[in-house]
Amino acid sequence: MELREESLPSLGADEVLVETICSAISAGTEMLIYQGRFPRDVETDSVISALRGDFKYPLAYGYAVVGKVIDVGRAIDKSWKDRLIFSFQPHTSHFITTTDCLLPIPESISCESACFLPNMETAVNLVQDAAPIFGERVMVFGQGVIGLLTTALLREFPIETLVTADCYELRRVASFALGVSNSLDPAANDFRDQASAYLKNGADLTFELSGSPSALDDAIVLTTFSGRIVIGSWYGEKRTALNLGGAFHRSRIRLISSQVSTIAPELSGRWDKARRFETAWNALKRTRPEKWITHRFNINQATRAYQLLDRSPEDAIQVIFDHQT
């Protein structure tokens, strides 16, 4: 990891200049990039214009920037000046873009909370793809930021049981604070027995959000007949052998791939990205996820930030760059 200083181009008539206030590290995704575990056969992002291109080094990455518009081109409405905005941009101190790449931040949401917008949109997408049913028993693997936000949304549903799992105690404590039935350590020898005791006949709905492919085996074992497993993790080049030759063969369990770049076809007639962003903003108001920020670094300390997530992930939940310090 290194910092690079570049000169910004001249501001175009239809462009704005943004000064970054803070930006959030998406630990799961960015660690795949940092550790070189990203796939070589897909583009960086098919939707986010600032990330178009291939996965190859050097790569400016990140997609959760909150900033303030400090200058506008002559063709831009002057009301954009001084507005607080969110943008899907790599970590950077300043950037030039067009207004269609900016999302104004609602007044009731803090800048730090707004950094969680991409993750909240992902959580909304996961829950929409899962379509929880009244009275269901639900299991969530992974209580990183995506897992916690998904758990927070699930707590708003009238489900019977909600059990979470994460290998790090700090995250299990955060999960308990959301009011789950239990939060378990998947590395415990009796993990499956503990989870089964809470889920009775098994989970009707299971989320795999841990980033660990081996968690899918646990998910299959703990999901009941005809249940659903929503897979939101991006594994990159991680590989694992799944046990599909046992109970899974006759279980009629559905494995559902869920990713936020698109909207499920069955919803796209009624939902678009604008509506989903509005839903995500409202969910941020209710959840106030800034309580999960465990570390704040100046951008000049970026090396330390990534080393922390690489070497001591058990000590962190959300790490952000504070560009104003």
Let me know whether 140 and 193 are in one domain.
yes
Let me know whether 176 and 55 are in one domain.
no
Domain boundary among 236, 257, 278: 257
Let me know whether 200 and 237 are in one domain.
yes
**Residue 92 covered by a domain:** yes
- Mean pLDDT of the 210-232 span: 94
> Which are the contacts of 313, defined by CB distance < 8 A and separation ≥ 6?
27, 31, 168
**Residue 11 covered by a domain:** no
**Residue 78 covered by a domain:** yes
Report which of residues 234 and 229 the model is more confident about. Answer: 229
**Residue 281 covered by a domain:** no
Task: Tell me the two tokens of residue 258.
Answer: 């869920």
Let me know whether 71 and 180 are in one domain.
no
Let me know whether 100 and 123 are in one domain.
no
Q: 171-206: per-residue pLDDT in tens?
A: 999 999 999 999 999 999 999 999 999 999 899 999
- What pLDDT is stored for residue 46 in this prediction? 52
Expressed as residue numbers, the domain containing 219 is: 119-257
Let me know whether 100 and 132 are in one domain.
no
Query: What's the distance, CA 160 to chain centroid?
Result: 25
**Residue 266 covered by a domain:** no
CA distances from 22 to 116, 189, 233, 318, 320 (A): 11, 41, 25, 13, 7
- What pLDDT is stored for residue 154 in this prediction? 98
Query: What is the rounded CA–CA span in Å between residue 138 and residue 125?
Result: 17
Tell me how crowded residue 264 is: count the other CB atoms within 10 A of its CB.
13
**Residue 8 covered by a domain:** no
**Residue 269 covered by a domain:** no
**Cα angle: 129, vertex 131, 136; to 5 degrees:** 135
Q: Shortest CA distance to 209 belongs to which of 268, 156, 145, 163?
A: 145
> Which are the contacts of 270, defined by CB distance < 8 A and separation ≥ 6?
none
- What pLDDT is stored for residue 122 in this prediction? 97
Q: Shortest CA distance to 28 belongs to which of 310, 323, 312?
A: 310
CATH number at residue 38: 3.90.180.10
Let me know whether 88 and 124 are in one domain.
no
Let me know whether 136 and 253 are in one domain.
yes
Q: Shortest CA distance to 143 belongs to which of 178, 190, 191, 189?
A: 178
The residue type found at 111 is: C
**Cα angle: 247, vertex 249, 253; to 5 degrees:** 85
Return left, alpha or beta for 36; rule: phi > 0 is left, psi -120 to 50 is alpha, else beta: left
**Residue 139 covered by a domain:** yes
Query: What's the distance, CA 164 to chain centroid?
Result: 17
- CB-CB contact of 227 with 205 (8 Å): yes
CATH number at residue 208: 3.40.50.720
Query: What is the rounded CA–CA span in Å between residue 275 and residue 145?
Result: 22
Long-range pairs for 308-314: beta carbons < 8 A, 24 or more residues apart: 309/25, 309/27, 309/30, 309/31, 309/34, 310/31, 310/34, 310/35, 313/27, 313/31, 313/168, 314/167, 314/168, 314/169, 314/170
Tell me how crowded residue 310 is: count the other CB atoms within 10 A of its CB.
13
Q: 60-101: per-residue pLDDT in tens?
A: 889 999 999 999 999 999 999 999 999 999 999 999 999 999
Cα Rg of the chain (Å, integer): 20
Let me know whether 101 and 218 are in one domain.
no
Query: What is the rounded CA–CA span in Å between residue 129 and residue 262?
Result: 11
Let me know whether 140 and 208 are in one domain.
yes
Query: What is the rounded CA–CA span in Å between residue 16 and residue 73?
Result: 6
Q: How many helices (H) and strands (E) does the chain have?
A: 9, 13
Q: How many domains does the chain have?
A: 2
Q: Which of 40-54, 194-208, 290-304 has the lowest mean pLDDT?
A: 40-54
Return left, alpha or beta for 200; rule: phi > 0 is left, psi -120 to 50 is alpha, else beta: left
* Whole-number percent of the chain with pLDDT over 90: 81
Let me know whether 54 and 84 are in one domain.
yes
Let me know whether 25 and 53 are in one domain.
yes
* Whole-number percent of the chain with pLDDT over 70: 95
